């Protein structure tokens, strides 16, 4: 069968060879090509231009790298790569330019509130609304594509506030914002000010306009070239938000949806949440993600393989192609210890390509992420007010081995929700009328919804709604709020309630933070109620043992569950996912997972008996289902503000999987991708059970299936 897809629509493994000025002397095109191929790569990205040109540019003022010495790196490397069957992308960076250019083109550059240029390393930061972005950068990519035949362009740092500077107050930005909003750019960040929130949205829109322009320019210059722009989700928020990065708006103008994933002070499952988001945002499009060889910000120091193996495995397990980012590899001083392990990992991905190509998520649970809630509700405390809620849910679902997707609230509609049995709207404060209606209709038609705390209280701009958007859905009327509930508890009203399955012999579980007081509708069940804080006196940091008795219980609901139409709904009036993220109380994770299982309704689902540090992803291909097992490193968590590096991958033995078969399906074979060895399987009651003898870092359990003729008919 002929494969008519373009190269970038097929599975790829990419090396991002990020050069420093002066590295050129160590590069030999044939050696570079051999090295790239030794990783099992299909393509690589190398520096092109922008801050400095790594080729013999003809554009006036486009500074040549001092390391070229008369050579033309792109003219040497690209033909050699093409001859070896590799594709090459050129890296550009529009974020800054030599300060000398400001004499002739001051309008190209960002200005601070006092009108001064923003200097970084002898360069001035450029303005995304200026001609440097909109005229000079198109000239550079045209030159690279038409003179050298690069297969695409990778954009780095195309954003406002590049290199940790700040908002741009140049005349162009002031004029454009006044035209678009009728207001002046606010003098300082103030999330209570609607003008600041409009300015924040305006930055996203302006960067999208530039991405759109670059996409058009690139395809005009070389029809089969691709354009990819750097962007991230959730973590690195100090870069994403002031920069104006929102990939949702870029989907029409990106040939391959791509996330960067390099920082390691983030959650160890950051690659997973980004990969799940990419996969749901445009399931019919190719998806790529970077993974750094190095440990930021020590770019010459290798991240240990115990950290990088699960980092890359999460990307592959969720249908995302990996870019391995190497920086400083041509330095005289470099950490080479990670090269052999990363070659082995990338080569394994090449061997496993048949299990990657065309694989899509088979999860029936979706966790909704809202950038508008992050910004317009989270404001100056986006982590505490929203992102930590999402992190708590991610951990709860991962540790319970419940396969799930992460989806943008901007794409929530009836068609998108049809494939799910349960939807989690964790503190989804800012929501559009259309999204709220789609979620309510989803529940009424039989879907399950789990919500919490301030879900639905505001519109997308952050303005409070007169009536919460999910008032009918959640099963009660808001009557007040209690804040500062440190050292409080949730009292178990019925130990047999499905939300409390597996809790065991306890009368209470921890609570903290804030709570919405709710007058509960008739017919709703309240399995958990509030026990007010048990403290010696107001403001105490620890309770006195002799005075730690519970002196008061209440009927104030902590959790409410019930029916909405044909569907099931759980509403947590408090903030359990936030508390779970902060402290990791196992009972809170268990309650959250139980809520998802209950709203999902009856019926068998995938079950995996493994430690909570084993990540599980369920994917499908025609005639095949794939269960990925990713072993997370066991580290030493400390509350230092920086996650300690993953140190130990502890092999796990005898992992038991139970996979329900669809009606009419029959198991042909179960096997392990690592060895292609068949697994003994037992089928009973429409459920396949296998035992994986040993998990090192990443394994795929492959279930080959066939459908009966009756079902095919």
Distance CA 655, CA 614 (A): 10
Compute the average pLDDT of residues 662-668: 94
The tens digit of pLDDT for each residue in 58-97 reads 999 999 999 999 999 999 999 999 999 999 999 999 999 9
Can you give the pLDDT at residue 615? 97
Q: What is the DSSP annotation of 507-572?
A: SEEEE-S-EEEEEEPTT-EEEEEEE----SSTT-SS--GGG---------EEEEEEEETTEEEEEE
Of 334-338, 425-429, 635-639, give the lowest mean pLDDT range.
635-639
CA nearest neighbour of 147 among 158, 137, 139: 139
pTM of the model: 0.96
Distance CA 232, CA 245 (A): 8
Distance CA 561, CA 527 (A): 8
Compute the average pLDDT of residues 324-328: 90
Q: Is the pLDDT of residue 573 over 80?
A: yes
Considering the domain delimited by 607-712, tell me its CATH architecture: Sandwich (2.60)
Distance CA 352, CA 621 (A): 13
Q: How confident is the model at residue 642 (pLDDT cuts 50, 70, 90)?
A: low
Placement of tokens 């029409």 in the chain: 252
Distances (CA, A) of 385 to 133, 382, 575: 35, 5, 10
Burial of residue 395 (CB within 10 Å: 0-12, 13-18, 19+) is buried
The tens digit of pLDDT for each residue in 199-222 reads 999 999 999 999 999 999 999 999
The tens digit of pLDDT for each residue in 446-481 reads 999 999 999 999 999 999 999 999 999 999 999 999
Q: Is the pLDDT of residue 342 over 90?
A: yes
267 or 147, greater pLDDT: 147
Share above pLDDT 70 across residues of the chain, in percent, rounded to a whole number: 97
Distance CA 265, CA 434 (A): 36
Can you give the pLDDT at residue 551? 84
- Domain map of the chain by residue range? 365-599, 607-712
**458 phi and psi, to 5 degrees?**
-140, 160
Instruction: Pick 365-599's CATH classification: 3.40.50.880, 3.20.20.70, 3.30.2130.10, 3.30.460.10.
Output: 3.40.50.880
């Amino acid at each position: 069968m002929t494969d008519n897809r373009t190269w970038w629509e097929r599975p790829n493994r990419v090396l991002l060879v990020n050069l420093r000025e002066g590295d050129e002397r160590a590069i030999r095109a044939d050696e570079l090509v051999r090295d790239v191929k030794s990783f099992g790569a299909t393509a690589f990205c190398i520096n092109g231009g922008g801050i400095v040109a790594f080729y013999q540019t003809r554009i006036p003022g486009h500074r040549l790298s001092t390391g070229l010495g008369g050579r033309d790196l792109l003219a040497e490397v690209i033909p050699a790569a093409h001859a070896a069957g590799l594709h090459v992308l050129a890296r550009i960076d529009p974020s800054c330019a030599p300060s000398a250019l400001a004499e002739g083109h001051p309008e190209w550059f960002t200005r601070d509130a006092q009108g001064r240029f923003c200097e970084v390393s002898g360069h001035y930061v450029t303005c995304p609304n200026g001609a440097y972005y909109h005229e000079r950068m198109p000239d550079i990519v045209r030159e690279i594509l038409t003179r050298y035949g690069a297969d695409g362009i990778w954009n780095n740092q195309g954003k406002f506030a590049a290199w940790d500077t700040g908002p741009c107050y140049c005349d162009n930005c002031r004029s454009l914002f006044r035209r678009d909003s009728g207001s002046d750019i606010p003098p300082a960040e103030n999330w209570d000010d609607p003008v600041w929130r409009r300015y924040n949205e305006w930055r996203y829109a302006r960067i999208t306009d530039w991405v759109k322009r670059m996409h058009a320019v690139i395809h005009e210059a070389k029809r089969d070239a691709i354009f990819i722009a750097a962007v991230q989700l959730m973590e690195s928020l100090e870069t994403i938000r002031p920069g104006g990065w929102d990939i949702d708006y870029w989907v029409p103008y990106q040939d391959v949806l791509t996330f960067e994933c390099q920082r390691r002070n983030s959650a160890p499952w950051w690659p997973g949440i980004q990969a799940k988001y990419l996969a749901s945002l445009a399931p019919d499009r190719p998806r790529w993600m970077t993974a750094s060889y190095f440990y930021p910000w020590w770019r010459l120091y290798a991240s240990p393989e115990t950290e990088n193996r699960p980092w890359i495995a999460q990307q592959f397990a969720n249908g995302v192609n990996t870019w391995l980012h190497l920086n400083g590899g041509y330095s005289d001083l470099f950490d080479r210890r990670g090269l052999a392990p990363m070659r082995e990992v990338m080569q394994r991905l090449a061997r496993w390509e048949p299990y990657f190509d065309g694989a899509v998520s088979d999860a029936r649970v979706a966790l909704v992420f809202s950038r508008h809630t992050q910004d317009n509700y989270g404001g100056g405390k986006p982590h505490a007010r929203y992102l930590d809620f999402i992190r708590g849910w991610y951990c709860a679902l991962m540790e319970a081995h419940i396969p799930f997707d992460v989806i943008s609230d901007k794409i929530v509609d009836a068609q998108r929700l049809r494939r799910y049995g349960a939807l989690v709207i964790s503190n989804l404060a800012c929501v559009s009328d259309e999204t709220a209606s789609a979620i309510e209709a989803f529940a009424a038609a039989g879907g399950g919804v789990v919500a919490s705390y301030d879900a639905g209280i505001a519109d997308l701009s952050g303005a409070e709604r007169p009536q919460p958007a999910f008032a009918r859905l959640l099963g009660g009327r808001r009557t007040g709020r209690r804040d500062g509930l440190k050292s409080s508890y949730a009292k178990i009203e019925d130990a047999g309630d499905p939300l409390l399955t597996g809790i065991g012999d306890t009368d209470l579980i921890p609570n903290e933070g804030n709570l919405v007081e709710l007058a509960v509708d008739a017919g709703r069940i309240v399995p958990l109620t509030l026990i007010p804080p048990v403290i010696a006196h107001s403001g105490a940091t620890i309770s006195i043992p002799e005075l730690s008795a519970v002196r008061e219980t209440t009927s104030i609901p902590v959790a409410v569950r019930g029916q909405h139409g044909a569907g099931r709904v759980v509403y947590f009036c408090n903030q359990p996912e936030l508390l779970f993220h902060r402290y990791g109380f196992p009972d809170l994770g268990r309650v959250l997972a139980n809520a998802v299982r209950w709203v999902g309704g009856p019926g068998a689902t995938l079950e995996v008996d493994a430690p909570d540090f084993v990540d599980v992803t369920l994917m499908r291909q025609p005639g095949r289902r794939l269960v990925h097992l990713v072993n997370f490193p066991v580290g030493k968590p400390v509350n230092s503000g920086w996650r300690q590096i993953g140190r130990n991958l502890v092999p796990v033995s005898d992992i038991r999987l139970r996979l329900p078969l669809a009606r009419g399906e029959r198991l042909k074979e179960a096997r392990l991708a690592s060895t292609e060895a068949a697994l003994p399987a037992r089928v009973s009651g429409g459920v396949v059970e296998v035992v994986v003898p040993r998990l090192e870092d990443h394994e795929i359990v492959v279930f080959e299936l066939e459908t009966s003729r009756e079902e095919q008919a």
